[in-house]
Structure 1
Amino acid sequence: MDDLQRLEDWVAPLLARLSAPERRALTRTVARELRKSNAASMRDQQAPDGTAWTPRKNKLRDQRGAIRAKAQAMFVKMRAAKYLQARGTPDEAVVQFAGRADRIARVHHFGLRDRVKPGGPEYDYPARPLLGITDAQMERVRDLLMQHLATKG
């Protein structure tokens, strides 16, 4: 988080020169870029820092009773733009889960205890970090900022 604070301290005076619509356009671009990279790490079944997630338990049989060949990828729908949203305001770039996906994401991100299905048994889910920012992403944010300032100035 220290690197993130340094980035914020470095960016603040540069952003102060921009008008509110210009800042909104920049933060929207940054949020979309971060959303894309976080969705890619979810698709690869790994935390934003590159470590692999704990694999899910493989149920031997599916609903019809047939033996399942392999475990399905996790969070396929949750990485869609409907649930993993990116938005920008003049003051911040936000990547967040929306609706029910927020609760599900929180349980998996932090490794909390939750019910498998309503009224069903409880399960201690392993922590599978879904969202985060890496050094490479911070470099990309710097590049986007410099590119935006170069075209506006």
Structure 2
Amino acid sequence: MTIARLESELSGLLHKVEPAARRALARDIGRALRQSQQKRIAAQQNPDGSGYAPRRPQYREQKGHIRRQMFAKLRAARWLKIEANAGGVEVGFIRQVERIARVHQYGLRDRISRHTHREAQYPARELLGLSEQDLEMIRAKVLDQLAK
């Protein structure tokens, strides 16, 4: 199921629900989506279930240096925000980290660190996206709201 099909199925039904209830539903869906995105990023998976491209090799890595999991800080609720209103819900990164997220989401070129002018081409790693389970969860939450 695609997001367009889900939207076409449920949009007409949602217009019958009052705006306060739609806002509450959007907030609830947003929380659930953020949680599923956080779990998926922690599992290092794209929305289609495939794994992230591995990190590039480090040439000057210090001996005994322990590396953190990719995107460990980005998936925190502090950076991954929800905006919900009666018209819909958005889950996205806040301004301070959106450049880093965009580079990895689309596989762009970026500087390796802010202290150097060297650039690297990063492989695409979809940080945000809807999986089939997410679409089914949204559908179930909307139908539960309509059943009330």
Report the TM-score when normalising by structure 1: 0.88
| Matched residue type, 2:129 | G
Cα 1:60–1:118 change in 2 (3 A) is: closer
| Contiguous gaps of at least 5 residues in structure 2 | none
- The corresponding residue for 1:5 is 4
Alpha-carbon shift at residue 81 of structure 1 (Å): 0.9
Match of 2:109 in 1: 113
Q: Which residue of structure 2 lines up, in the alignment, with residue 37 of structure 1? A: 36
Q: Distance in 2 between matches of 1:135 and 1:117?
A: 35
C-alpha displacement of 1:58: 4.7
Whole-Å separation in 2 of the counterparts to 1:45 and 1:31: 21
Cα contact 1:61–1:68 (8 A) shared by 2: no
Please list every run of 5 or more consecutive structure 1 residues that lacks an aligned counterpart in the other structure: none
Q: Which has the higher contact order (CA 8 A, sep 6+)?
A: 2
Runs of 4+ deviating beyond 6 Å? none
CA deviation after TM superposition for structure 1 residue 118, in Å: 1.9
Aligned equivalent of 2:133, options 136, 142, 145: 136
Q: Is the 8 A contact 1:59 1:68 kept in 2?
A: no
Q: Is the contact between residue 61 and residue 67 of structure 1 (CA under 8 Å) also seen in structure 2?
A: no
Q: In structure 2, how many angstroms separate the alpha carbons of the residues matched to 1:5 and 1:66? A: 50
Q: Are residues 9 and 137 of structure 1, via their aligned partners in 2, closer, same or farther at CA, if it must alter by over 3 Å?
A: same
**Alignment partner of 1:27 is 2:29:** no
For the residue of structure 2 that corresponds to 1:26, the secondary structure is helix
Instruction: Indicate the RMSD between aligned Cα atoms, in angstroms.
Output: 1.7
Task: Report sequence identity in percent.
Answer: 37
Q: Does 1:96 align with 2:95?
A: no
In structure 1, what is the equivalent of residue 47 of structure 2?
Answer: 48
CA distance in 2, matches of 1:68, 1:35: 31
Alpha-carbon separation, structure 2, partners of 1:149 and 1:79: 31
Amino acid at match of 2:55: R
Which secondary structure state, in structure 1, belongs to the residue aligned with residue 81 of structure 2? strand
